[in-house]
Chains A and B, each alone.
Chain A
Amino acid sequence: DSGVTQTPKHLITATGQRVTLRCSPRSGDLSVYWYQQSLDQGLQFLIQYYNGEERAKGNILERFSAQQFPDLHSELNLSSLELGDSALYFCASSVGVRGATTDTQYFGPGTRLTVL
């Protein structure tokens, strides 16, 4: 168990809908990362937050957004869902001390999103 929790475990929804995925980082970790894992795209970085502020953006669609709250948990919002958004979404956290370049990211169990 990495200490990173994600809810829900599974999510089934229809095209055009909006969903919210939740992540709680390990105790003491300030950085949260979101990744998408799909069969055709592999494991791709979406976005990173550090202590409530966005730090880096990857291949995140405009229909997707995220935020990190004062208690450091994070939510990933996916809207106008399409069939191709079906994937496993992982959250990871790290200590994230500003300027640190080598801290390890610990991953949650993921949320499996199925868009029908």
Chain B
Amino acid sequence: AQSVAQPEDQVNVAEGNPLTVKCTYSVSGNPYLFWYVQYPNRGLQFLLKYITGDNLVKGSYGFEAEFNKSQTSFHLKKPSALVSDSALYFCAVRDMRSSASKIIFGSGTRLSIRP
């Protein structure tokens, strides 16, 4: 079955420090992976996606994610956190079981950046 897991409900980081939000996946076939961010009272915003190619994917707002096939992980990273990065982050995988493009989301990780 296609699934993603975000093992941490909450991640707390001091401003200026590097941050990592973890995600592991389980798919049949090639994984198509995404990261979205949700700010309070807002919709989801696309950050980045991995389809194929370079294992390090760069996205919006200085975020990047590293695809690791052997560990089936797709962790989101940023070298230097900002207070404005505080939000809810979702890892997602495209469901390859059908020709449709529906996405399966993880449970979300709340990122809190303290000044």
Contacts and interface: CB of A to CB of B under 8 A. Distances in A.
A102 B43 contact: no
B99 A45 contact: no
A33, A43, A94 — which one has the most chain B CB atoms within 10 A of its CB?
Answer: A43
Contact of A94 (B43, B90, B101, B104): B101
Nearest to A91: B43
B104 A105 contact: no
Interface in B66-110: 90, 94-96, 98-105, 107-108
Contacts of B22: none
A101 B44 CA distance: 20
Nearest to B51: A102
B32, B43, B46, B105 — which one has the most chain A CB atoms within 10 A of its CB?
Answer: B43
Given A42-B108, A43-B105, A107-B36, A55 B45 contact: no
A2 B60 CA distance: 13
Give the dominant DSSP class at B's interface: loop
A38 to B, nearest CB: 12
Given A104-B34, A110-B43, A99 B99 contact: yes
A107 B43 contact: yes
A43 B4 CA distance: 12
A33, A92, A94, A96 — which one has the most chain B CB atoms within 10 A of its CB?
Answer: A92
27 contacts: A2-B43, A2-B46, A33-B102, A33-B103, A43-B44, A43-B105, A45-B104, A48-B101, A50-B100, A90-B43, A90-B44, A94-B101, A96-B101, A101-B32, A101-B94, A101-B101, A102-B32, A102-B49, A103-B101, A104-B34, A105-B101, A106-B46, A107-B36, A107-B44, A109-B43, A110-B42, A110-B43
Interface of A: 2, 4, 31, 33, 42-45, 48, 50, 55-56, 58, 90, 92, 94, 96, 99-110
List the 4 shortest-distance A-B pairs measured between CB atoms, nearest first. Answer: A56-B100, A107-B44, A43-B105, A107-B43
Given A33-B103, A45-B103, A96-B101, 13 more contacts: A2-B43, A42-B107, A43-B44, A45-B104, A55-B101, A56-B100, A90-B44, A94-B101, A102-B32, A104-B34, A107-B36, A107-B45, A109-B42
